[in-house]
Copies of this chain bind each other. A is one copy, B any other.
Amino acid sequence: MSISARKEREFKERENLILRTSFDMLLTEGYMGFTIDKLAKKIDYAKGTVYKHFACKEDIVMKILNEAFKQRIKVLERIKTLDIPERALVMAGTYGMSLYNKLNPNLHRLLQIGNVESIWNKVSQDLKDEHNSMVTRIFDDFELLVQRAVKNKNLELGEHESIDIYFSIICLSMGFSGMLRNTRDAQIPHNVIECLCNSRLVKDPARVLRLAMNTFLDGLNWRPLTGNYDYNALETEVTDTVFSDLKKIVEGETRIEFILDLDI
């Protein structure tokens, strides 16, 4: 019994090694540079062993994405403890995501890989299911939030349906994260959007997203409006309380080796 438990633990450890090494390769060499042969050589196991863990290359990538997604959800769900208006919850979530994205500015580049249809199609069904259920969960949470705001008379739907609103919010965040990575790490920009972020002085894209989000919510007339609530104070507050651990890491007080090791 105890021996098979050790085996199991060793197997789990090797899986972690595979994920950690793959993540590293993906970030340094890109999707095309990430090959199973190189991976096997790096972790000093035979190729066949890797395939004992994952059915295909794409499954490794999707597993990493799913683990990162789990972390994201955990960060987002921390706001559930806050007793503030619904709109402030939306903003608090945005602040949390800002911080989380700074933990690993390169993470969202991997998301683009998962969005490529021909890659997604190769992923095993169970990993797709896992991914889908997480997205569904995010959508559900947002829907409840919008409905609660309507019920509490902080928001009128007007021409909108509730799906329109939370769908727009998600699109806005996705649009931003898709278009830029944090410029803190002075790497070579990989596309023109990133060049423009530098040349046109978008110094803190996350700040622009927060502004845009507030602007959009003002446009919806979702109360409390910017003028009637100190969202900057809210940012400071949540950053120092529910997200204080993330803040410490971002500010360099804590070092992390591998984002997915992080106990969030």
Determine if B196 and A31 form an interchain contact, defined as CB atoms under 8 angstroms apart.
no
Question: How many angstroms from the CA of A174 to the CA of B120 in the assembled complex?
Answer: 20
Among A168, A173, A175, A200, the one with the most B-chain Cβ atoms within 10 Å of its Cβ is A175
> Besides A168-B208, A171-B209, 9 other CB < 8 A contacts?
A30-B116, A32-B119, A32-B122, A112-B116, A120-B190, A167-B208, A172-B175, A216-B216, A219-B220
CB contact under 8 A between A212 and B32, given known A112-B116, A178-B115: no
CB of A163 within 8 Å of the partner chain: yes
Contact of A115 among B118, B191, B200, B202 (CB under 8 A): B191
Determine if A116 and B118 form an interchain contact, defined as CB atoms under 8 angstroms apart.
no
Interface size class of A (residues with CB under 8 A): 35 or more
Contact of A190 among B30, B117, B212 (CB under 8 A): B117
Determine if A192 and B135 form an interchain contact, defined as CB atoms under 8 angstroms apart.
yes
A-B contact pairs, 10 of them (CB 8 A): A29-B118, A30-B116, A31-B116, A31-B117, A115-B178, A164-B211, A167-B208, A171-B175, A174-B178, A214-B219
Determine if A171 and B176 form an interchain contact, defined as CB atoms under 8 angstroms apart.
yes
Question: How many angstroms from the CA of A202 to the CA of B139 in the assembled complex?
Answer: 13
* A residues with CB within 8 A of B: 29-33, 109, 112-113, 115-122, 128, 131-132, 135-136, 139, 159-160, 163-164, 167-168, 170-176, 178-179, 190-193, 195-196, 200-202, 208-209, 211-212, 214-220
CB-CB under 8 A from A122, the residues of chain B are 32
Residue of B nearest to A109 (CB): B117
